[in-house]
Structure 1
Amino acid sequence: MAARPAPRRPDPRGGAVRRPGGWSEGIATVLGIKVDAVGVDISADACATARAAGHRRICADITTLDPEHIALRHTCAVIISPPCPAFSPAGKLTGLEQRNIGILCEAIDRAGWAAGLMPLYDVDCDALYPEIVETGEECPACAEHGYHEGTRPRSGETWDEIRAVAAEVSDPQIALMLEVVIWPLALQAAGAPIRWMAMEQSSNLPEDVLDDLAIEFYSCDWAYTSREVKEAADYGLPSRRKRVYMIATRYYGTVRTARIRPLPATSMAQALGWEPGERINTRGNRPIDPKTGRAKGGNTFSADGPSWCLTGKSRTWKRESDGYRLTEAEAGLLVGFRRSYQWQGSRTSAFQQAADVVSPIMAAIVLSGVMGVILGEALIRDYHAQLYEMDDLLAPDDYDLVS
C-alpha cells in the first residue's frame, strides 16, 4: 500500500481505540470461514494480539493509506469500526455537537462526488453545471455520455482533500467516521469487485450521520443499506454493550442480513464460574447515600446478571467478597473471546483492547447474512455453548437442517 501524508491525524497517545481481532474471530472461529483478509489498526498492541491469533494486520493510521492503491484492486468487502469515544456517553460527546455533525455530513457528501459514481439519470444537469442555465448550452455530461447515460464525472477532489474537510471538527476521532464512506466508494471507483461493507459504531451515533451515509451509498448505486442497534447481552454475552451496525450491499442478489434470534441470557458469574451472590465494585470506596444505603455514583453491580459495559478502567474492578480482580483472559471471556486468546501488551492495554473490541459473537451475527452462512445461528449458538459451558443451549430439534 502507498502511504501518503494525511491532515491532522489522530494522536495515538491521545486515547487511540484498539481493535484486537473481534471481526476476524467472528468470521474465522465462530462462523468457521477462511477468508483472505488483512486488518489495519494504529495500535501496536492490538495488532500484536490479532497476529497472535493468526489474523494479518498492518499497523498504521488508516488515513495515511490510499484506498485506490493497485494492491487493493481485488477487495470484495470492507469492515470498518471507527473510534466511538466522541459519540459514546463514556466519552466527551463532542460528536453530538451540531457544528461537528454538519462538518462530517458535508465531508460525507463530498466523498460521493469525489468518487464519481452517481448514475447520470439521478443528476440535475442545471445543478451540476449551473453555467449552462443562462447560455442554453448542452450539458457536458450528456454530450459525452449520451442523455443521462453512464455516471457523473469525478469532482477532482482527492481523498486527502476530502479528509481535510472533516479535519475541521473539534475532535479528530470524529473525522474517522468519514472512512466508512471513503473506502467502499474509493474501491468501487478504482474498479475493485466490492460487494458489501459493514460498520460498527456507538449506538449514540447521530441519525443525521447514518442518514447521510445511507444516502451516499444509494446515490452511488448501492442496492441496499440497513442499520440496527443491538445489545450484546440480548445475544448471550455476559457483558452489556449497545452498538449500531450498518450493512450496505451493491447488488440486490446479495444475501444481506440474517435474523438471528436472541440467545439465553448469560450472567457474569455463570461465564466466570463464580458462585451466585457476588457483587462487583467498579470505583473503589465511595461515600454512602443515606437515602439508598448504597455508594454514591453507582459503583457496584451484581454478577448474577450481565456485567456493565467494559472500559479500560475495568482492570480495577474487584469482587467485593475478597477483592479479586479480573484477569485479561476473563475480561476477554466477558466480551466473547476464548480463554486462550493471547492478549498482548500491558494489563492496561489488554483491558482497553477488550473494551474497544467488537465481540466475535456480535460480528458473526452481523456478518452471517452477507457472508452467505445458512446455518449461522446454529454456529453462533454452538460457539456460545462451548465458550460458556452451557451444553443445553442448543437443543437437537432446534433446527431442521434438511430444509
Structure 2
Amino acid sequence: MLVESAADADHEEEEHQMRTLPPAVATAVHVATLARKAGKPIPPKVYAVLEAAANPWPAEWLLAPLPGDPIRVVELFAGPGGWSEGIAAVLGVAVDSCGVDISPDACATARAAGHRRICADITTLDPEHIALRYTAAVIISPPCPTFSPAGKLSGLEARNIDILCTAIAYVGEAAGFLPVDEIFDFHDEDDYDEDGNCPCEPGEGCMAPFAPRSGATWDEVREMAAEVSDPRIALMLEVVIWPLALQAAGAPIRWMAMEQSHNLPEDILDYLSGEFRCAEWFYTSHDIMEAADYGLPSRRKRVYMVATRTYTPAITRRIRPLPATSMAQALGWQPGERVNTRGTRPIDPKTGRPKGGNCFSADGPSWCLTGKSRTWKRESDGLRLTESEAGLLVGFRRSYPWQGSRTSAFQQAADVVSPVMAAIVLSGMFGALGEALVRDYLAQLYEMDDMLAQDDYDLVT
C-alpha cells in the first residue's frame, strides 16, 4: 500500500512562515529531537516544556517528523471514531492523528478504542498553533442538524446561507490567498514607466500570486457568521478556515475531507470549493453517497467533499456500489423479522396500518439511525436494539467500546461517520485499494463469505 510519510511531504510554503518558537521551546525541541534520533527517551524536564507549549495538542507534534513517520492528521468534530476507524481498521493505514470534539462521551468512546482526543470547542482553538506546524491533513465533520431533514432546516434559510457564504468568501483573504489578479485598482496610471512596466519586483505587489493577508484574526472571521439563527450553521466555516490557516502558516497540508448532511445547499459547497481553488488546491470534488449502496445494513445519505493540493485521488464515485447487506443478515436474525420504532401506534382505518410509519422490514437495510433508535425493538419478541448492534449497523465491530448512557451511545452512533464510508472517501488519499479492503472488512464484520467472492467489483479505471 502506498502511504506518504510525513517527512516525505514537500515544504514549498516557505513564503508563509509558522510562528517562531520561543527560545526556551526551541531549545527543548532541539534537545528532544536529538534524543529521538538517538533512540533515547525525551528528558522529563524537556518534555514538560514541550507539553506546556503544545497544549492542548500532543507535545511530540512540536518535533519534526523523522523519515518513515506517519503523516499527522487533525480530525475536527471527530466524534467517537468513525474516520479514525476507517483509516486504521478498514484501510489498515497508520497515521499520527489527534481528534477534537466537544462531547465528553464521544471523546471517551474514541479514547477507549485507542484514538487520541481533545475535548474542546473547535472554535476556541487556534488553527495556526505552533504544535500544528507539521500537519499534513484535516478531516472535518461539522454537526448536521441544521441542514438535515431530521432537524429544523434552519441552515436552508436564504438569510443564513447568505451570511455563511459571505464569511466563507472572506477566509482566503484573511489567510493571504486572495489572487492578485482579482484586485483591479492595484496601481494608478502614473505608477507605470514609459514602457508600461509596473514598479513591482517579481513575487511582490501585482507580480505576487496573492495579496497580503487582510489582518483579520480567525475569531474576527468567525464573528462574520455570528448572525446566523443557529450557531451550528456557522461551524461550516471551520471546513475552510483550518485547511487555509494551516497552509498560510506554512504547514505541509496536503488534503482535507469533509462530511455533512446530503441536504447541504449547493451554494455553500460552491463557495467552499471556490476558496480552495483560489488558494491553488489542485482538486476539489463532492459526492452524495448512500451508505446502504456500499454494503452497510443501514441507510445514511451524506455529502462528502475532498480537496487536495498535490494530486487527484481515486474519488468516491470511482468505487462501484457493493452488494447489499440487510439488517437481519448483519445482526444474525432470521428472515421475516420486522422492527418497531415507535411503540404501539393508532391504526389508520383507511390503510389498516399503524399511523406514523413505525415499522420496517429487517430483510433490507434499516432506516437511518437517530438518537431515538434506542426505542427500536424486534416485533417478534420485543427485544430492544442494543448499543453494540446500533454500532454494528453503521459499520463498527460489535466490541466497540461505546461510553456514556444508552441515550448518549445511540446518539453517537447516529451522528458518527461510518468507518466504511470514511475508508471509501479516504482510500485515494492513501493510495489504498479501497474497494477490496472495504469488501474484506464488511465480509468479516457481518460474517458474509459471499462478499469476498465478488470478483466483479474492481475499481473503475
Normalising to structure 2: TM-score of the pair? 0.79
Alpha carbons of structure 1 residues 320 and 185: separation in structure 2 relative to 1, 3 Å: same
Cα deviation, residue 148, structure 1: 2.7
Which residue among 220, 223, 229 is the counterpart of 1:170?
Answer: 229
**Is the 8 Å Cα contact of residues 106 and 403 (structure 2) preserved in structure 1?**
yes
Q: Computing the radius of gyration over CA atoms, which structure comes out larger, 1 or 2?
A: 2
Structure 2 counterparts to residues 1-400 of structure 1, below 5 A:
19-120=79-180, 122-126=181-185, 137=191, 142=200, 145=204, 147-251=206-310, 253-257=311-315, 259-373=318-432, 375-395=433-453, 397-398=455-456
Cα deviation, residue 119, structure 1: 3.7
C-alpha distance in 2 between matches for 1:114 and 1:369: 30
C-alpha distance in 2 between matches for 1:48 and 1:285: 35
What's the counterpart of residue 8 of structure 1? none
Q: Which amino acid counterpart does residue 56 of structure 1 have in structure 2?
A: R
What SS does structure 2 have at the residue aligned with 1:183? helix
**Is the 8 Å Cα contact of residues 78 and 100 (structure 2) preserved in structure 1?**
no
C-alpha distance in 1 between matches for 2:407 and 2:205: 60
Alpha carbons of structure 1 residues 112 and 232: separation in structure 2 relative to 1, 3 Å: same
Runs of 4+, deviation exceeding 6 Å: 138-141
C-alpha distance in 2 between matches for 1:316 and 1:140: 71
**Is the 8 Å Cα contact of residues 167 and 222 (structure 2) preserved in structure 1?**
yes
Q: Which amino acid counterpart does residue 394 of structure 2 have in structure 1?
A: V
State, as a whole percentage, how many aligned pairs show the same letter.
Answer: 76
**Is the 8 Å Cα contact of residues 119 and 221 (structure 1) preserved in structure 2?**
no
**Which ranges in structure 2 are unaligned for 5 or more consecutive residues?**
1-53, 57-76
**Is the 8 Å Cα contact of residues 329 and 340 (structure 1) preserved in structure 2?**
yes
**Is the 8 Å Cα contact of residues 198 and 247 (structure 1) preserved in structure 2?**
yes
Q: Which amino acid counterpart does residue 399 of structure 2 have in structure 1?
A: S
Alpha carbons of structure 1 residues 189 and 400: separation in structure 2 relative to 1, 3 Å: closer
Alpha carbons of structure 1 residues 356 and 397: separation in structure 2 relative to 1, 3 Å: closer
**Is the 8 Å Cα contact of residues 2 and 66 (structure 1) preserved in structure 2?**
no
Of 193-202 and 253-262, more deviation after overlay is shown by 253-262
Cα deviation, residue 116, structure 1: 0.6
What is the aligned length? 381
C-alpha distance in 2 between matches for 1:41 and 1:391: 36
**Is the 8 Å Cα contact of residues 76 and 193 (structure 1) preserved in structure 2?**
yes
Of 76-85 and 135-144, more deviation after overlay is shown by 135-144
RMSD over aligned CA atoms reads 2.2
**Which ranges in structure 1 are unaligned for 5 or more consecutive residues?**
4-16
C-alpha distance in 2 between matches for 1:98 and 1:148: 38
C-alpha distance in 1 between matches for 2:200 and 2:313: 35
**Is the 8 Å Cα contact of residues 78 and 141 (structure 2) preserved in structure 1?**
no
Alpha carbons of structure 1 residues 370 and 377: separation in structure 2 relative to 1, 3 Å: same
